[in-house]
Amino acid sequence: MSPARRCSRTACGRAAAATLTYVYSDQTAVLGPLAVYAEPHAYDLCEEHSGRLSAPRGWEVMRLAPDPDSLAPSSDDLLALADAVREAARPLPPPQVRPEVGTGSREVGRRGHLRVLKPVDD
């Protein structure tokens, strides 16, 4: 099955208890149940680190972890919201990945000399 997930904080080897997802476009960090698979803007955190989480200045933190003491919508709503937020985060292109241009790469196609041919109708 899936390997044990670990807290992503440096020097912390505890088992992950929650997943933190950053939504850069909304400046929102969503702390929710452990994500099923790794995502580019998601970080696994252990119970202790998720409890001590602090967001960057100007950011909002949404905690989706089930907490019986807090007045919160039903966990189904929150899970749906977490999924929606993760979906929203997904289309962002990874900023560090750029296609290599030139330098030894082979050319797949060249369009400069191609002409557009119209079908002859007669």
Q: Which of residues 45-84 bind Zn ion (CB under 5 A)?
A: 46, 49
Q: Single out the segment in contact with Zn ion by CB under 5 A; choices: 13-21, 65-73, 86-94, 99-107.
A: 13-21
Residue type, 79: L
Contact 36, 16 (CB under 8 A): no
Q: Single out the segment in contact with Zn ion by CB under 5 A; choices: 5-13, 24-32, 58-66, 92-100.
A: 5-13
In the bound complex, what is the minimum distance in angstroms from residue 74's beta carbon to Zn ion? Answer: 28
Q: What binding mask, one character per residue, do residues 18-47 give for Zn ion by CB under 5 A, x or -?
A: ----------------------------x-
In Å, how far are 60, 74, 80 from 77, measured between CA atoms?
19, 5, 5
Contacting positions for Zn ion (CB under 5 A):
7, 9, 12, 14, 46, 49
